[in-house]
Amino acid sequence: MYQKNLYLLLLVIGAHLMFAQGPPILLDKPIMLGANKGTIRPFAKILNQQVHDFTAFVLEADYNISNQIAIGAEIPTSHHLNKLSLGDLAFMAKYQFYKKDGTAKTTRVAIKAKQMFATGKSLETMILGMGHPMTYLGFSGAKESLKLGIQSELGYYFSPAASHLNFFAVKAGFGLPLLKPTYPVKQINLYLESEATIAQSHDGQSQYGIYIAPGIQYAKGIYTFDFSYQLPITQRFHHLTTYQKHSSIFIGTRVII
């Protein structure tokens, strides 16, 4: 109970800190860059997990075919047991269905669909390989102004062929800029991002994990450089032990094209 209350307290505190001249590190963004714009993002994740320790190298790319519609792809590889192998390829589509702009503030909400293919290993481990195709459906929201903002996600991962892998994913991200907003962008952002994974119960026992990830981002012009360290607040995976994480280090960059 104490750990869950701590998690809620961090969310409340973070909501009063968020604004950054740069996208969140671990969350998706509902804010589109405009038609015919996109991003390329290579990153590495060093994962220390209950069952598998590995390093993932991922190339993400997205493209806005209109002011409201974006498509994207993920190509992951992983270094596991001294071997480099392909992970689960994924394709994404996103539609921004709500937009409300005011003076120096905006609110955006998008719906997102993502399809992951079983091109990696059969280890029931995200990125490394789930062993089954997985589908994600969810929402991404943002409310931002020059001094305040918040990013969040709510979605569901499911596999018709392996329902025991299904889970809800809830994310919230908050950031604090250290420099005054400028254009072109030149900013250092401190982030506090969180994630909750809620899987189906097993033998009457709940399965869930709650994680927190402090991070830092340097944004300059069309580039960002990101670092974050994720660690668990609490987790209980009695059956899905491959979902249990001890820590995760994220290092990446992003460029607008």
Domains of the chain by residue range: 2-256
- The whole-number pLDDT of residue 172 equals 96
- The whole-number pLDDT of residue 14 equals 39
- The whole-number pLDDT of residue 52 equals 87
Please name the fold of domain 2-256: Porin (2.40.160)
Contacts of 72 (CB under 8 A, 6+ apart): 60, 61, 62, 63, 91, 92, 93, 94
Residues of the chain with pLDDT under 50: 2, 4, 7-20
User: Nearest 5 degrees, angle CA 128-CA 24-CA 85?
Assistant: 15
Whole-angstrom Cα distance, residue 161 to residue 228? 34
- The whole-number pLDDT of residue 11 equals 42
